Structure formats: structure tokens, C-alpha cells
A and B are shown apart, each in its own frame.
Chain A
Amino acid sequence: MTDSKDFIAGVDSNAKKSPRRIVFITRRTSAQVKAETEDQLQTFPEVLLRAAVAIMTLAVVLIWIALLFNAPLEGLADPSHTPNPAKAPWYFLGLQELLHYFPPVVAGVLIPGLVVMALIVIPYFKVNIEAEGLFQKDREKRLQIFYSVAGGLSLFLLLFKSRLYNAVLGIKGEAEPLYAALVPTLIISGLMILASKSSPQSPSPFRRYLAGRPLSFWVMTWFLFELVVLTAIGTFFRGPGWAWVWPWQGS
């Protein structure tokens, strides 16, 4: 590829004099047509049959669940009697858990708004297209950024609403540190540090796997982890007054 070109690419705006070139064919390369060589199956009937089997299996499972477990139905809605705790549907309990720590405009509007925006723009950012391990390129710079972001976030989650925070700001009332959000952050950060110390040639398959993960993987996994932990806490570990209860204590 380094040898001299055997053509001159001229720039001419007169289309009549020099018609536009469509393709260069040089000595060593030839025009290529990308051909699909993979095995394929007809949608009718093979793929449709598989889809039907999948959906029917699901239907059988759901029908069994519907036969065995009754949907909950409590007493008639009564605006004058608030149950304690009043809980949203399970998929919003992660948000409700955040509402416990942050003002509604942050937990109810800003955070979900940012999450939806972030999800929409995923395919349009180069960082999400990259498939190389996070620390395989620009190692020093990326480690610096990682340590400051992960450190800053962990420190914020450790201090926010802690006893120290309340004392400094003169807030009365009990400290409620965000351990629920801190623990997943620390675990993912730990795995990222391990990834930075692993190489793609490592003998351990797990460390090879970690070393090959791009930034988008880490961010999404952190989000998934937080989502699952916060939702689980809101669902199983919150009782009257949104105080911590153990699932076996009942409510």
C-alpha cells in the first residue's frame, strides 16, 4: 500500500471535459462485492414455527401462573385513608427509593429524564460503537479519568445525607446515607480496576473477558446493577414510613 500511486487524481470542475471517476482499479486491488455467505432459513415456515413455539411456551407458563396465583385486590379506594407505605408499581420502586433521598425534582424528573435521554442517544455516540477494551488505548489518561469519576461519585454517595453532611449543614434528623447506590458503584469500580490490571492475553478467561470490555459496557452494567438493587430494596426492604424492614418481618 506504501508504493507510489500509478494514477493522478485530478480535480476538475468541468464535467464535460473530464467526466467523474466512479472507481479506481489499481494493480493490486480489485473492486469487491460484499456477498452474504451465511446460512439462511425461510421465514415461512421455519422461523414462524419457532416464534409460535416460543410464544406458546410463554402462554403455557403464564396460564399456569394465572391458575395458581390470584392477582391482588384490596379494599375500595379510600382517599381519606393512606396506607403506609404507599408504594408505586414495582418497576417504579427504584425511582421511589431515590425519592426518599433526593428532592422530587431531582429523583422524579431530572434522573429519569436523563436516563431516557441517555438511552435514546446511545447509538449516536462513538463511545458506544467502540468495541475495544476500555484500558487498551490511552491507558494513563483513561485511568486518570476513571479514578476521578469513580472516586468523585463514590465520595458523593458516601457523604450525601451522612452524619457528617447533616452536621456541616446543620440538618436535624437521622442520617440516611445512600449505601444502596454506593455498594453497586464500588463493586463495578472494583471490577474496572481489575480490568485495567488485566490483559487480553491473560490466562484467566474471566480476566480476558474483563480486559475486553468497552466503556459502554461498564456504564450500562453499572446502570443495570443500580436499577436492580434500588428496585429490589424498594420492593422487599421498605416498610411503614419507608423505613428499612427485612422481607421476613412482614408489614
Chain B
Amino acid sequence: MAKTVDQYFDDLQQTRVWRSIFRSGTGSSTLKRALAIQQNVFLHLFSTKVRTRMLSFSATWYLGTLTLGTFLILVATGIPLMLYYHPSVPQAYADTKDLQFVVSSGMFLRNLHRWSAHAMVFLVFAHMFKVFYRGAYRTPREFNWVIGVVLLLITLLLSYTGYLLPWDQLAYWAITVGSNIASAVPLVGEKIHFLLLGGNAVNANALLRFYVLHCMILPLAAIFFVAIHFWRIRKDGGLYSHASEPATLRAASKDAAAATEAQ
């Protein structure tokens, strides 16, 4: 009798090579499924079980997940864009033009990167307000909220530094307007402004600095803090538990529980 695809997959999972890569072993028991999370370097940031109520759409609107999604899209489109881009004046603008008109799917890559970046800024704000209105910043999740604020700032900086890279009029003057605000800081304003731009005005040095920040420093910082952000969800006991919910929500869930018991 011919083997089914599932059987071939089962056989594959029994091989010595597969077993050497995935330590958790095969099978679909609860233990094996828990191990699939716990024994994986990336997935072990998450807990092995999640409260069903937290998975309903209304609990989170999946805003955190979607923010991660935009970040993944931005990495996936950003790396190919880097292959066609020189952070120098005026080559940067010519490269952007080439992306639009010469590179295969260059226009699509740039469009997707840009719209995803706007979507990420929007989703980060939405996520923050949703978490606030659900009261999910309460004990023991205080510090994860603080990390979230840090991630909000990193997101804004990522978007802001990326804004300069096409080196067109829109980019140049948006960064000029924004960076002039830094000069308003009392006492050290001019020094901060100079440090940010590598000069007194937006020029080739500023482009290089923004490029390094945008492609290197800020993404690494984001990944670092996102890892802590996810890990803290597990350490703080899941998305949010009874004790941290507002009294009204707690009462509502108690009523629901009582109704279920009565049935």
C-alpha cells in the first residue's frame, strides 16, 4: 500500500538527522507540544499554554502580533532594498529612482517597505492604547509597559531615520524640520543637533548616520527589547490575569463563570 504524505512526514521525523535538530521529539501528546515550545530557542520566550479567553479577538485585537508582523515584513523587504542602495549624496536618490524604474520588483519592495513602516507606527500606538484601556499595565506587568514605551520610541526613530534615506525633497525637509527641534533643548541643544546630523545641517554625514542607525543600531535595539517584551509576558503570567483586571471586568468574568457552573 502506498504511503500517505503524513506517513512520509512521520518517517522523516524519526530520522537521526531530524532528531538531532529538533530535540523535543515527535508525537502530539501535551508533553511533546509543550516541549516544542520550551525546547526551541525562539519559541521558549513564550509560555507553553495560553488562556483561551486571551485569544479571543476582542481581548487584544491581535495588535501586538500584527506589530510583530509589520516588523518581520520590514526586515524581509529592508534587506533586499539595502542591496541596491548606497548611503551617499546624490547616489542615494539615483538608487531610489533605480528601485522605482530599473530593479525588478523594486517599486513593489519600496512600496511594501514604506506602507508597512507607516502601518507599524500606527499599530504600535494602537497596541499601546489597547493595553492601557484593558488595564494590562498593572502589577506585575509594570516593567513590560515601560519596555513597551521604549519600543514605541525605537519605532518612531526607525521610521524617522528611514524617512531621510530616499534623499528627495520630502525626506530632506522633513528631517530638517524634525532635527531643528533638537536645537531647542536648553544648553546642549546645538551639541545634540550636531551629534545627530554630523554637521550643522542635513548633509552627506547625516545620511550616513541615519543609514547606520536605520539598518544596524535601531533594528538590533528593537530585536533586543522585543525579546525581553515577549519573555516578560511569560514571566508575568500571561497576557493578563484576574488580579490585574479592572473590577468591572473581573465581576463580568465571575458572572460568566457562575453561569457556566450553574449549567
Contacts and interface: CB of A to CB of B under 8 A. Distances in A.
Contact of A73 (B47, B115, B153, B166): B166
A77 B168 contact: yes
A128 B89 CA distance: 49
Contacts of A216: 132
B50 A40 contact: yes
Interface string A72-104: 111111110111001111111001100100011
A128 B66 contact: no
B247 A122 contact: no
Contacts of A217: 133
B173 A76 contact: no
B69 A54 contact: yes
Interface string A7-40: 0000000000000000000000000000001111
Contacts of A54: 62, 65-66, 69
Contacts of A95: 181
B226 interface: no
Given A55-B69, A62-B115, A72-B170, 14 more contacts: A40-B49, A42-B48, A47-B55, A66-B108, A77-B89, A89-B159, A91-B125, A99-B181, A116-B149, A123-B146, A124-B142, A131-B246, A220-B129, A220-B133
Contacts, number: 197
B154 interface: no
A102 B92 CA distance: 35
Contacts of B55: 41, 46-47, 50
A1 interface: no
A44 B97 contact: no
Interface of B: 30, 33-34, 36-37, 43, 46-53, 55, 62, 65-66, 68-70, 72-73, 89-90, 93, 96-97, 100, 107-108, 110-116, 118-119, 121, 125, 128-129, 132-133, 135, 137-139, 141-142, 145-146, 149, 152-153, 156, 159-160, 163, 166-174, 176-178, 180-186, 201-202, 246-248, 257
B48 A73 contact: no
A42 B51 contact: no
Contacts of B186: 105, 109
A187 interface: no
7 contacts: A55-B69, A62-B116, A73-B170, A77-B172, A87-B173, A119-B128, A123-B142
Nearest to A112: B181
A79 B48 contact: no
B121 A91 contact: yes
A73 B118 CA distance: 16
B141 A123 contact: yes
B65 A40 contact: no
B111 A66 contact: yes
A114 interface: no
B168 A58 contact: no
A45 B178 CA distance: 45
B52 A70 contact: no
B184 A212 contact: no
Closest 9 interchain pairs by CB? Answer: A104-B184, A77-B172, A108-B181, A55-B69, A123-B142, A131-B246, A66-B111, A66-B112, A86-B173
Interface string A194-224: 0000000000000000001010110010001
Contacts of A116: 149, 153
A123 B139 contact: yes
B169 A77 contact: yes
A105 B180 CA distance: 11
A88 B174 contact: yes
Given A62-B116, A66-B111, A69-B115, A123 B51 contact: no
A168 interface: no
B9 to A, nearest CB: 14
Contacts of A245: none
Most buried by B among A44, A72, A131: A44
A47 B172 CA distance: 43
